[in-house]
Amino acid sequence: MSNDWSFLKNFTHARIALGRHGNAVPTKELLNFRLAHSRARDSVWQELDENKITHQAFVIQSECSSKKEFLLNPDKGRKLSQASKEELQKLASRGEPSDCLLVLADGLSAKALHTNANGFVKEFVQEMKMSGLRLGPVLLAKYARVALGDIVAEIFQARSVVMLIGERPGLASSDSLGVYFTYLPKPGKSDSERNCISNIHSRGLSSEGAAKMTSYLVQQALKLKLSGVDLKVEYPSEYTRILPL
């Protein structure tokens, strides 16, 4: 039976046409799944390594002081440590208010930043430059959740914030990044006021394509002065092209 259907595998990396013995999957597939799960479990616990980020970035940390604390206390991951807050206030006082701030955050997969952030940052910085928008200093946040970006952006009085954050690792991709974009960020913003671009990894959206999409999103939001469910963005199709399997 598996042979007849196996041509379907040409179209996706989803686990299809696995074959069956009774109602169960073949032993090889059972163990493949367990191997992928073990890797995802390991990547949840991997620590952020700032040396893996090539663009110059200012390192900050949330209120969490360990991975476990981060996993069990989402609220602490949304707040800045006192030390980071003071450092950022100093840094912000030296610069001018920016149109957009880019925060790289480990979230639930530091591995995703290590693998896919560099291409994104390079392209995004370039795009901002070309569109004449002022991008604040790039920040690298440890033990961070999405809403941390609101607090950071408020310190910098930035008009918008792009949070590039490691997504929950899945089995097929333990290195996927997501973009959470917020116009006029400040503490207390809800998820419905954000726009999201997810699945940025080697088998999803390319880092470069996602950076172009994000830049387009930023420009639309600044023009229309809003973000979230009320901002319906139709991306140029060449940005959303799928990467080859």
Partner 1 sequence: MAAYRTTLSHRNYVFQNLGDVLAKASPLRSGDVLAGVAAQSEEERVASQLALSEIPLKDFLKSPLIPYENDEVTRILYDSWDEEAFHTISHLTVGEFREFLLDQKTNHDTIRKISPGLIPEMVAGVSKLMRNQDLISVARKVEVITKFRSTVGKKGHLSVRLQPNHPTDDLKAIMAVILDGLSYGCGDAVIGINPATDSLERMTELQKLLSHLIESLSIPTQSCVLGHVTHQIKAIEGGSPVDLVFQSIAGTQLTNESFGVNAQILQEAQEAALSLKRGEREVMYFETGQGSCLSAQGHWRIDQQTLEARAYGFARVFHPFLINSVVGFIGPEYLYDSKQIIRAGLEDHFCGKLLGLPMGCDVCYTNHAEADQDDMDNLLTLLGVAGCNYFMGVPGADDIMLNYQSTSFHDACYVRDALGLKPSPEFELWLEKMKSENNGLLKAASRLLPKGSP
Binding site for partner 1 (CB under 8 A): 4-5, 7-18, 20, 23-25, 29, 33, 36-37, 40-41, 43-44, 71-75, 108, 167-174, 176, 190-192, 195-199, 201, 203-205, 228-229, 232-235, 240, 242-243, 245
CB closer to partner 1 out of 119 and 204: 204
The amino acid present at 137, given as its one-letter code, is: P
HSE-CB for 101 with a 13 A CA cutoff: 33
Owner of token pair 């590039």: 164
Query: C-alpha 123: how far from its chain's center?
Result: 15
CB closer to partner 1 out of 47 and 75: 75
Least separation in angstroms between CB 190 and partner 1: 4
Query: C-alpha 106: how far from its chain's center?
Result: 8
Owner of token pair 């900050």: 60
Least separation in angstroms between CB 66 and partner 1: 14
- Nearest CA-CA partner of 115 in 128, 103, 129, 104: 104
Bridge partners of residue 205, in order along the sequence? 200, 242
- Nearest CA-CA partner of 227 in 180, 188, 187: 180
Least separation in angstroms between CB 6 and partner 1: 10
Least separation in angstroms between CB 20 and partner 1: 6
CB closer to partner 1 out of 9 and 85: 9
CB closer to partner 1 out of 5 and 83: 5
CB closer to partner 1 out of 25 and 133: 25
CB closer to partner 1 out of 46 and 118: 46
Least separation in angstroms between CB 210 and partner 1: 11
Q: Where does residue 192 rank: exposed (0-12), middle (13-18), buried (19+ CB within 10 A)? A: exposed
Angle between helices 148-156 and 82-94 (to 10 degrees): 30
Least separation in angstroms between CB 54 and partner 1: 25
